[in-house]
A and B are shown apart, each in its own frame.
Chain A
């Protein structure tokens, strides 16, 4: 474009005024230098306004005059240029400005336009880079799937990324606990401790567009929520609140929901992995604990059988898990007749709690038997002790006998344990009576001592219900008759072999079917 040669008087003013409405090159520095000159020529002050998202904003100011920072519409006598206008004070028609001022207005407009375009480019560049940061963040959360197995750290990372990526002021991460979404972590303020996903509020959060009344983040005006994982079986909810801008907070645009969904999808996989890892660690810890408890229980069970003149003795136990609830013991009692105590017990339940109760039973039984021998008072004391020291639903069945080897007499007590079998040398089989209540069931339970005379060749078999209730693949029980049958057919063999024969028979019967109960056998046979 060619600049017309200046003519004189009013013509020059008009020409320069026309030129000022067109574009000339400029920039920030040009604007800052030219505007004060223009203001002086205009006789007071001047300001450049540019149009932005928030309306007309004052870009530059020089001299005196009323030029508010923001305007709704340009003054009637301003000089407009693409994307803004130049205003001056005192106000008046452009044609009344000095010719030099009008000429200068061209350069001011061009400079202002360039400043505005440069800013727009910077904003676009900033937004493009911010999208790059978003993609990187999504990638980082994806990487965490492979690298971050610390569940708590992962939760923190997910929430931090969500809040920062969406320029939110607040955020919260809820994780499913049964039917409830429980608050796991909050940022930037308090959050509702729990959300019912079936409630109106829960459905709003899972749908992504909670209403303003939703109180997941109390005090937040604008909320955005997405499910972590598939909505119907979401493992959590990710919520952010109050989208920030330089001028305050506002709602989240549609694109933010998609970004948050992508983040939540990555988070779901990462959380699954971290949780599996956490469970594996917990399982490993429990297995170590169980192994230790199993070792303790192995120490409790007798390592061999005592030498009892005129008698054979054998014991065997197979726990259903690493640690069982069955227990057996033989130990000598103090006294002049070299008496022997035989005990078989079964603690209700399995696993660690049962093993702990077995340990309690073992120590208290040995201590009490030293003082009381195998007498009703022993079981009555034990009953009280077990009641006081175990959970309400725990009880123990126990058969305890005291053998006088010299006479072959067995004094025994039965607290709800399976009736013992006696295979007489004659081939007759007897069942000993069931006795009293299991230990730990009722306070004040009483017990009665019974006597059994064992003659030469008589065999006493004590067992736990894991033997008789051992189940086949067809869900049939091994039963007392099969046990008696094995005893009858194998009774001429050495006692450890008889025990082995029962063990083998049970093993064949169950045919690999997993068993839910421990199996224990104790046998005593008079040989002379």
Chain B
């Protein structure tokens, strides 16, 4: 039994929410990247990553999230995170993700900022 990442994507008016459940490691990060880049191809420029089902992330997963952030910056898109565990939120701040993507306690707060 492996604890792979489960993803669910919810497309809304002009933005998309990616819900994660499980370990964001190399495999999990690449799944998120695939989903995110696919949404960019569909024309979405505002993405929210809701990590409510994720308790653990490693540095490989973080590096992939940074790549997604860089991609979003290149195309003048916006990426936000919400529902982080305290440990993951602290990690994001230390790793510098919070400088380029906003972090919100819950989805409604994130959506209020992201909505076009």
Q: Is the CB of A169 within 8 A of B25?
A: yes
Among A2-36, those with CB < 8 Å from B are none
Judge whether B59 is part of the interface by a CB distance below 8 angstroms. Answer: yes
A189 and B2 in contact, given A136-B90, A244-B26, A246-B63 (Cβ under 8 angstroms) = yes
Return the CB mask of B70-105 against A: 1 if under 8 Å, else 0.
Answer: 000000000000000001001100111000000000
Q: Is the CB of B3 within 8 A of A187?
A: yes
Q: Is the CB of A245 within 8 A of B2?
A: no
User: In the assembled complex, which residues on chain A have CB atoms less than 8 Å from the CB atom of B114?
Assistant: none
- Identify the interface centre among A161, A167, A248: most chain B CB within 10 Å of its CB: A167
Q: Is the CB of B1 within 8 A of A129?
A: no
Judge whether A380 is part of the interface by a CB distance below 8 angstroms. Answer: no
A163 and B58 in contact, given A126-B63, A136-B94 (Cβ under 8 angstroms) = yes
Q: Is the CB of A167 within 8 A of B25?
A: yes
Q: Give Cα distance in the complex from A137 to B90, angstroms.
A: 10
Q: Is the CB of B56 within 8 A of A245?
A: no
Closest to A247 in B: B26
Judge whether B35 is part of the interface by a CB distance below 8 angstroms. Answer: no
A246 and B56 in contact, given A132-B94, A133-B94, A133-B95 (Cβ under 8 angstroms) = no
Closest to A156 in B: B55
Return the CB mask of A153-191 against B: 1 if under 8 Å, else 0.
Answer: 000000011011101110000000000000000011110
Q: Is the CB of A190 within 8 A of B26?
A: no
Judge whether A275 is part of the interface by a CB distance below 8 angstroms. Answer: no
In the assembled complex, the CB of B1 is this many whole angstroms from the nearest CB of chain A, namely 6
Return the CB mask of A136-149 against B: 1 if under 8 Å, else 0.
Answer: 11001000000000
Among B12-40, those with CB < 8 Å from A are 23, 25-26
A189 and B95 in contact, given A136-B90, A163-B58, A244-B58 (Cβ under 8 angstroms) = no
Q: Is the CB of B58 within 8 A of A167?
A: yes
User: In the assembled complex, which residues on chain B have CB atoms less than 8 Å from the CB atom of A305?
Assistant: none
Closest to B29 in A: A246
Judge whether A130 is part of the interface by a CB distance below 8 angstroms. Answer: yes
Closest to A122 in B: B66
In the assembled complex, the CB of A113 is this many whole angstroms from the nearest CB of chain B, namely 20
User: In the assembled complex, which residues on chain B have CB atoms less than 8 Å from the CB atom of A167?
Assistant: 25, 58-60
In the assembled complex, the CB of B66 is this many whole angstroms from the nearest CB of chain A, namely 8
Judge whether B69 is part of the interface by a CB distance below 8 angstroms. Answer: no
A133 and B91 in contact, given A126-B59, A189-B3, A245-B60 (Cβ under 8 angstroms) = yes
A188 and B94 in contact, given A164-B56, A245-B60 (Cβ under 8 angstroms) = no
Closest to A165 in B: B58
User: In the assembled complex, which residues on chain A have CB atoms less than 8 Å from the CB atom of B90?
Assistant: 136, 140
Closest to B70 in A: A122
Judge whether B111 is part of the interface by a CB distance below 8 angstroms. Answer: no
A140 and B59 in contact, given A188-B2, A246-B26 (Cβ under 8 angstroms) = no
User: In the assembled complex, which residues on chain B have CB atoms less than 8 Å from the CB atom of A248?
Assistant: 26
User: In the assembled complex, which residues on chain B have CB atoms less than 8 Å from the CB atom of A125?
Assistant: 96
Q: A126-B63, A130-B59 are in contact. List 4 more A-B contacts (CB 8 A).
A: A132-B94, A136-B94, A167-B25, A189-B3
A residues adjacent to B (C-beta < 8 A): 125-126, 129-130, 132-133, 136-137, 140, 160-161, 163-165, 167-169, 187-190, 244-246, 248
Name 15 interchain pairs, CB-CB below 8 A, sorted by A.
Answer: A126-B63, A132-B94, A136-B90, A136-B94, A163-B56, A164-B58, A167-B58, A167-B59, A187-B3, A188-B3, A244-B60, A245-B26, A246-B26, A246-B60, A248-B26
6 tightest A-B CB contacts, nearest first? A167-B58, A130-B59, A164-B58, A244-B26, A129-B95, A132-B94
